[in-house]
Amino acid sequence: SRKISRRVQRIESSATLKMADLAKELRRQGEDVISLGVGEPDFDTPRNIKKCSKEALDSGFVHYTDSKGIPELRELLSEKLGRENNIDIESDEIILTPGAKFAIFLACQTLLEDGDKALLFDPSWVSYKESVKMTGAGIEWCSMNNELRPSVEEYKDILESTDISLVVLNSPCNPTGQVYSEGEIRELVEIALDNDAYVLSDEIYEKIIYDREHYSPSADYEDVITINGFSKTYSMTGWRLGYIVADEELINQFIKIQQHSVSCPTSFAQKGALCALNDPVSDEIVGEMVGRFKGRRDMLVDGLNSFSDVECVTPEGAFYAFPDVGRDSDVVAEQLLRECHVVVTPGSAFGEDCKNNIRISYARSEERIKEALERMEKIFD
Ligand code: PLP
């Protein structure tokens, strides 16, 4: 008989769809809608990266690659991970995937099944939850404190009282913009490992960080799986290129799913990524981009905190602010859209605990952020 699997029925489609529809409708009516809901840089992919990819296309580099990704790129990544992250691994312990999102999917599919449990922080990025649910596993939520950082007591209680198979850490964090110190991360990882959980460390925003140091727990701990990618650092969201780093035993399991689902990441996208890592110009461009983000962050956070009913903790990384707006953020988000024509994401998209927060992306031009703040005066005091 015809049916949709329970596994897929359990998955929620994007929580922000209703808002996106409303925004589209407003645009159709000719309104100037400012979108601060997006999770991607507004900058173009650096030209040098595009050039390498174009050359690869023109030279006929258009076929399947090694399912783990081209060896030169994995070699460069293993050097990068050693140099920048203190992670000492072989190039065979990396799989390039079509986006970091797929790397997370691979890890969840491999490490979780019916009856298992994963620990996620509330709030956390929308796709962790669904990626876990797709395996049949359940979720234990751990709150954040008032500074939007993990509540260690609660975290420890959960891990000691529940059989948790996987913990997902994300620093710099989407949606909070918080960056955890080496000490904080070590504590969280040690508690997880002491309780036989794997740790998935999503470091996709590692380079988008302001006056803080990024720490990769894989540098010091086994059984930590590192996720990263090119989307955010190099403005390459549409290229779909991410990677997963783990010991060989795990990699040999992850790769089975990649081989039978997507085969390999796109050939010429990988050639572009070679240049992202190889060409010193890329680092300069990333540095400039991060400088711009920082200026926008300051502008946005100052603007938000000038409203008496809004309280915004200063984000230390990524390109999101996560202010408390003092009332139901589903209502506020709808009001912002209808009355100010500004799109933001309500906290309810990221968990249960942050009903009074909204996520505002500042990966938009300075002019647009300024304009959005001016429009917000309509609904905030
Ligand atoms: N992890 C986090 C925390 C993200 O915010 C995103 C993108 O929004 C991703 C992973 C996925 O990135 P990719 O484009 O590489 O799939």
Q: Which residues line ligand 1 (CB under 6 A)?
A: 39, 99-101, 125, 170, 174, 202, 204, 229, 231, 237, 242
Distance between Cα 88 and ligand 1 center (Å): 24
pTM, to two decimals:
0.96
Distance between Cα 103 and ligand 1 center (Å): 10
Pocket test for ligand 1, best of 174, 209, 230 (most atoms within 8 A of CB): 174
- CA nearest neighbour of 96 among 204, 254, 243, 253: 243
- Residue 172 DSSP label: S
Residue nearest to atom 5 of ligand 1 (CA): 174
CA-to-CA distance for 296 and 321, rounded, in angstroms?
A: 11
The neighbouring-strand residues paired with 226 are 201, 245
Q: How many CB atoms lie within 10 A of CB 55?
A: 14
- CA nearest neighbour of 92 among 68, 110, 66, 72: 68
Phi, psi of 60 (to 5 degrees): 85, 25
Give the ligand 1 atom nearest the CA of 173. 3
* Global ipTM: 0.99
Distance between Cα 265 and ligand 1 center (Å): 16
Distance between Cα 282 and ligand 1 center (Å): 20
The neighbouring-strand residues paired with 122 are 143
Phi, psi of 254 (to 5 degrees): -55, -40
Omega into 175 within 30° of 0, i.e. cis? Answer: yes
CA-to-CA distance for 122 and 170, rounded, in angstroms?
A: 12
pLDDT (0 to 100) of residue 146: 87
pLDDT (0 to 100) of residue 39: 85
- Three-state secondary-structure class, residue 54: helix
Spatial neighbors of 240 by CB under 8 A, at least 6 apart, are 98, 99, 102, 231, 265, 266, 269
Distance between Cα 205 and ligand 1 center (Å): 9
Q: How many CB atoms lie within 10 A of CB 136?
A: 14
Distance between Cα 127 and ligand 1 center (Å): 9
Pocket test for ligand 1, best of 125, 176, 244 (most atoms within 8 A of CB): 125
Distance between Cα 240 and ligand 1 center (Å): 10
- Three-state secondary-structure class, residue 212: coil
| H/E run at residue 320 | strand 320-321
Pocket test for ligand 1, best of 207, 231, 236 (most atoms within 8 A of CB): 231
Low-confidence ranges of the chain (pLDDT < 70): 14-16
Give the ligand 1 atom nearest the CA of 229. 15
Residue pair 117/168 in contact (Cβ under 8 Å)? The answer is no
Residue nearest to atom 8 of ligand 1 (CA): 39
Give the ligand 1 atom nearest the CA of 101. 16
- Three-state secondary-structure class, residue 345: strand
> Which strands make up the sheet holding 138-143, listed edge to edge?
94-97, 242-245, 224-229, 198-202, 166-170, 117-122, 138-143
- Three-state secondary-structure class, residue 117: strand
Pocket test for ligand 1, best of 127, 320, 345 (most atoms within 8 A of CB): 127
pLDDT (0 to 100) of residue 15: 63
Query: What is the number of H-type helices and E-type strands within the chain?
Result: 13, 12
Give the ligand 1 atom nearest the CA of 202. 1
Give the ligand 1 atom nearest the CA of 102. 16
Residue nearest to atom 3 of ligand 1 (CA): 174
The neighbouring-strand residues paired with 97 are 242
Residue pair 162/191 in contact (Cβ under 8 Å)? The answer is no
Q: How far is CA 218 from CA 94, 176, 245, 326, in A?
A: 13, 23, 9, 38
- Interior CA angle at 209 toward 206 and 215, to 5°? 50
- Residue 46 DSSP label: P
Distance between Cα 59 and ligand 1 center (Å): 30
CA-to-CA distance for 149 and 146, rounded, in angstroms?
A: 7
- CA nearest neighbour of 98 among 240, 232, 276: 240
Pocket test for ligand 1, best of 124, 204, 208 (most atoms within 8 A of CB): 204
Helical spans, DSSP H, in the chain:
6-9, 17-28, 47-58, 71-85, 100-111, 126-133, 152-161, 182-194, 248-261, 267-278, 280-305, 329-340, 366-376
All structural domains of the chain, each given as residue ranges with its CATH number in brackets, are: 6-44+282-376 (3.90.1150.10), 60-279 (3.40.640.10)
CA-to-CA distance for 119 and 122, rounded, in angstroms?
A: 10
